[in-house]
Structure 1
Amino acid sequence: MKQHIKLLLLTGAICAGGANLPSYAQMPIIQTKYTADPAPMIHNDTIFLYTSHDEDDAQGYEFKMLDWQLYTSTDMVNWTDHGPVASLKEFAWRSRDNGAWAQQVVERNGKFYMYCPLHGHGIGVLVSDSPYGPFKDPIGKPLVWQQEHWEDIDPTVFIDDDGQAYMYWGNPNLYCVKLNEDMISYSGEIMKFGQLKTYQEGPWFYKRNGKYYLAFASTCCPEGIGYAMSDGPLGPWEVKGYIMAPTNRDRGNHPGIIDYKGKSYVFGQNYDLLRLEMKEHHERRSVAAAEMHYNVDGTIQEVPYFLDTKLEPIENFNPYRRVEAETMAWGYGLKTNKFEKGGIYVTSVDDGDTLKLRSVDFGKKGAKRFTACVASAKGNCSIEIHLDHANGPLVGTVQVASTGSMEQYKEMECKVKGAKGVHDLVFRFKGNGQKDLLNWDYWKFE
């Protein structure tokens, strides 16, 4: 199945949900895992995209969610996988081993606070000195837990210009509290706003040009992305319409919205990666993103469904440095895993697999040499370096010899010829029909 799908992707013949894709379809931005509930945060001019994680073996309409993942990017198209940054295990007071639902991370006074719903156990909070974690539980109990119901999910946190922080959450009712400056406690009573028109769950609270916005997953199911506006942080909220209308091409959604390097983006989720393999439904979702635009009055122009959009790179990618192999724009069929001592590597590399980066700038002089740090038990395989697409110009080939095991890494090199200017970069793996050819740590051009 994996090889058949890859062939269709290469030839442009793939279809999803029974419908042919357009000549360019904006597929999910993460492919090595199933991800959901995107929560982007900007720090040090970098997007930190925190997500929940649907396990590969989730069945039917039952969620299987155990941890939270992190990805970073500076160009919106090439994303580096940092693996899990927190899990349910951080909360010693929980009694369920499932339910790591939609979280959000915010920064205050040099610390990073992650607000996590533990389905059926309220909302917890974790804190770290770094956006990469590790995140730890500072209070040893739920921050919020209304035990009379299971509506305490999907927290979103925003710190206003006056320093007051707010946390909204809830399905199907909308709730809010004022967080204290310590960000791990709150003052006053829980405020209940009830159900806004078309509101379902997954609120995303932010402020832009003096106006307050509450985006949300709307009207299940299928869920679109709706939004409301207000002149104050506590409403009254006026529902304005859809950022992305509901469509039968999707089932659930969950917004995250940022302004970054002069553009605005909406993140959401869909089942388009799953649909490459099957029409059967399982809760295995994937994060997607699209550019969005505001009108002069602050209202938001409706965005087409993700497959009908195209993300353009904000800037070119620099290949003349150590690049982690888990940085990619497209890597369907590949997997990533975590080194015991930290760091991530690419694995599950089979014959014919590809790894793509977009808008790589080799400069006018061009690259002369390429180095890859890999581990291979059997060797007898290669990494082809192509420009633009998987069948594009071949500018170099790394012959991979055995390193002794899949845990023993060595640098291997090849000469490069013809890599000049700006191109998409595709690594294509060859191995005589074999599976698990190698594990890959990092690479660089010179």
Structure 2
Amino acid sequence: MSGRKVLAAAAVVTTAIAALATPAHAANPIITAIYTADPAPLVVGNTMYIYAGRDEAPTGSSNFLMREWHVLSSTDAATWTDNGAKATIATFGWAGADAWAGEVEPRNGRYYWYTSVNGNGPGWMNIGVAVGDSPLGPFTDAKGGPLISDSTANSAGLNIDPTVFVDDDGQAYLYWGGYWSPRAVKLAANMIDTVGAVVTPQGLTNYWEAPWMFKRSGLYYLMYAANDTNGCVTDSAYACQRYATATNPLGPWTQRGIVLGQVSSTTNHAGIVDFNGQSYLVYHTADAPGGGTFRRSVAVDKLFFNADGTIQRVTPTTGGGDGNLATSATASTSYVSSWESLAAINNGGVPANSADRSNLAYGNWPQQGTQWVEYTWPTARSISRTATYWFDDDQGIDLPASCQVQYWNGSAYVPVPNQSSCGVAGNTENVTTFGPVSTTRLRLSITSRTGLSTGVLEWKAYQA
């Protein structure tokens, strides 16, 4: 089994006074010496590898220029090494251009690198496969010709973006396809031949390209790029990452939601992997200096699953984050409802409105009066601003009557100095500013309206 394809399910436990830690994000993009795109993560032992194409287009270019694939690696998901180009167009004697998205799958002690490349024969893009004896290669052409091409029966409108999954029974599956045409086929045990007919998976709503398949707790997941404006993107020239689930590796699939919204690059290509007990989303943006649609860079952010197996939407970070210290804090509370989650308040969710549960919600029903949520850091942090997005379900949890930000002064909780109004409006971030405090503990004290309880979708605390 690959270290990235079968993800572990973590238990979620809530208590009356609960705590949950979310360590800080690493800096994004993860490398900026070159531009990298179409990332595919793989975990082998204590190392995460990312296989990515290299963008070489000059400034102002209106086309992709990609001739080689690089391998990035890290042992902590924070410090990254570019190991250089480990495959190029020249790896495939039958290819002529376009080193597009690829992915590596381990099998039988070897590493199979499935790639999108423009062959010299008729048609445009093909899928080739190279093989190596280690995650860093060297890699050589495993087949001597395309695995998938335009001549393949029922091939995709554009044969790109392969993802390979090996199931518990040893059967391998290949998914690929662009131009709204997902395709799938079984692979032979040798990993370089197909078995049976190519099928068209059903249920992948608004599929555009870039599939990524894995399995978790017996359920199959397929993430993919979509470009619809039905909650996905504001401009169909861009893409988001949707996901679907199925009980069979060939579907049918049921669309579940959005993992990653529109990013700064028009393309949106991502993978999910478990590493050191944490799930990560690996994707690309145009956020590096001089970046753009054809000059993209790989980014890595933490990803979280809800207790029911759904995926929490990821908010992209840049430069190590936006100064929000909440993501590195341990959260606790006076009370959390058994059907809500304390994890909501600092999981980086972006609520659409105060009734939005898509990124989890914290609530304290049936408690009334004054309750609190609190952040704790191992060492003192300097803080001067918070932002609160209130939860309102119209079923007993409502907007509060009032609130107050407090900090631990070493012996007691006291109000932060020169506090601006602690806003209680719905459907917006309520920003509270105050004189800088240096503390290891920050508390939001919340007083409910008569007969009601209160809730929070996100509470941010910003560095002074």
Query: What is the TM-score normalised by the length of structure 1?
Result: 0.60
**Cα distance change on mapping 1:75 and 1:25 into 2, 3 Å:** closer
Pick the structure with greater CA Rg.
2
Q: What is the alpha-carbon distance in structure 2 between the residues aligned to residue 37 and residue 56 of structure 1? A: 15
Q: What is the alpha-carbon distance in structure 1 between the residues aligned to residue 286 and residue 68 of structure 2? A: 19
Q: What is the alpha-carbon distance in structure 1 between the residues aligned to residue 214 and residue 110 of structure 2? A: 19
- Paired position in structure 1 for 2:344: none
- Paired position in structure 1 for 2:114: 115
Verify: 1:238 aligned to 2:254, yes or no: yes
- Paired position in structure 1 for 2:299: 288
- Paired position in structure 1 for 2:219: 211
- Paired position in structure 2 for 1:75: 76
C-alpha deviation, 1:186, in angstroms:
1.1
- Paired position in structure 2 for 1:223: 239
Q: What is the alpha-carbon distance in structure 1 between the residues aligned to residue 125 and residue 57 of structure 2? A: 24
- Paired position in structure 2 for 1:105: 104
Q: Which residues of structure 1 form unaligned runs of 5+?
A: 1-23, 314-446
Verify: 1:141 aligned to 2:142, yes or no: no
Q: What is the alpha-carbon distance in structure 1 between the residues aligned to residue 213 and residue 156 of structure 2? A: 23
SS at 2:169 equivalent: coil
CA-atom RMSD in angstroms: 2.4
Of residues 159, 163, 168 in structure 2, which corresponds to 1:161? 168
C-alpha deviation, 1:308, in angstroms:
9.1
C-alpha deviation, 1:138, in angstroms:
2.1
Residues 35-434 of structure 1 mapped to structure 2, 5 A cutoff: 35-57=36-58, 59-94=60-95, 96=96, 98-119=97-118, 120-147=124-151, 150-171=157-178, 172-193=180-201, 196-219=204-227, 220-246=236-262, 249-273=264-288, 276-277=289-290, 281-307=292-318, 310=321
Q: Which amino acid aligns with 1:186?
A: T
Q: State the number of aligned residues.
A: 284
Contact 1:175/1:194, CA 8 A, preserved across alignment: no
Q: What is the alpha-carbon distance in structure 2 between the residues aligned to residue 25 and residue 179 of structure 1? A: 36
SS at 1:92 equivalent: coil
C-alpha deviation, 1:305, in angstroms:
2.6
Contact 1:203/1:216, CA 8 A, preserved across alignment: yes
Contact 2:128/2:145, CA 8 A, preserved across alignment: yes
Contact 1:118/1:124, CA 8 A, preserved across alignment: yes
Q: What is the alpha-carbon distance in structure 2 between the residues aligned to residue 129 and residue 183 of structure 1? A: 14
SS at 2:112 equivalent: strand
C-alpha deviation, 1:121, in angstroms:
3.6
SS at 2:98 equivalent: coil
Deviates more, 1:133-142 or 1:49-58: 49-58
Q: What is the alpha-carbon distance in structure 1 between the residues aligned to residue 61 and residue 304 of structure 2? A: 36
Contact 1:35/1:284, CA 8 A, preserved across alignment: yes
**Cα distance change on mapping 1:39 and 1:149 into 2, 3 Å:** closer
**Cα distance change on mapping 1:161 and 1:228 into 2, 3 Å:** same
Deviates more, 1:36-45 or 1:147-156: 147-156
C-alpha deviation, 1:162, in angstroms:
0.4
SS at 1:103 equivalent: strand
C-alpha deviation, 1:56, in angstroms:
4.9
**Cα distance change on mapping 1:308 and 1:85 into 2, 3 Å:** closer
Q: What is the alpha-carbon distance in structure 1 between the residues aligned to residue 194 and residue 63 of structure 2? A: 32
SS at 2:318 equivalent: helix
Q: Which amino acid aligns with 1:289?
A: V
Percent of aligned pairs with the same amino acid: 40
* Cα deviation digits, residues 98-137 of structure 1 (max 9, x gap): 2100000011111000001114241000011111111111
SS at 2:144 equivalent: coil
**Cα distance change on mapping 1:63 and 1:233 into 2, 3 Å:** same
Q: Which amino acid aligns with 1:286?
A: S
Q: What is the alpha-carbon distance in structure 1 between the residues aligned to residue 31 and residue 98 of structure 2? A: 21
**Cα distance change on mapping 1:192 and 1:31 into 2, 3 Å:** same
Contact 1:122/1:150, CA 8 A, preserved across alignment: no
Q: What is the alpha-carbon distance in structure 2 between the residues aligned to residue 25 and residue 213 of structure 1? A: 26
SS at 1:102 equivalent: strand
* Cα deviation digits, residues 166-225 of structure 1 (max 9, x gap): 010001210001001100101101112268212211100110111111011121532111
* Cα deviation digits, residues 335-354 of structure 1 (max 9, x gap): xxxxxxxxxxxxxxxxxxxx
SS at 1:89 equivalent: helix
- Paired position in structure 2 for 1:334: none
C-alpha deviation, 1:26, in angstroms:
4.3
- Paired position in structure 2 for 1:399: none
C-alpha deviation, 1:309, in angstroms:
7.2
Q: What is the alpha-carbon distance in structure 2 between the residues aligned to residue 126 and residue 99 of structure 1? A: 16
C-alpha deviation, 1:27, in angstroms:
2.5
Q: What is the alpha-carbon distance in structure 2 between the residues aligned to residue 201 and residue 57 of structure 1? A: 25
Q: What is the alpha-carbon distance in structure 2 between the residues aligned to residue 198 and residue 270 of structure 1? A: 21
Q: What is the alpha-carbon distance in structure 1 between the residues aligned to residue 36 and residue 139 of structure 2? A: 19
Q: What is the alpha-carbon distance in structure 1 between the residues aligned to residue 100 and residue 274 of structure 2? A: 24
SS at 2:33 equivalent: coil
Q: What is the alpha-carbon distance in structure 2 between the residues aligned to residue 308 and residue 227 of structure 1? A: 27
Contact 1:28/1:289, CA 8 A, preserved across alignment: yes
Query: What is the TM-score normalised by the length of structure 2?
Result: 0.58
Contact 1:173/1:195, CA 8 A, preserved across alignment: no
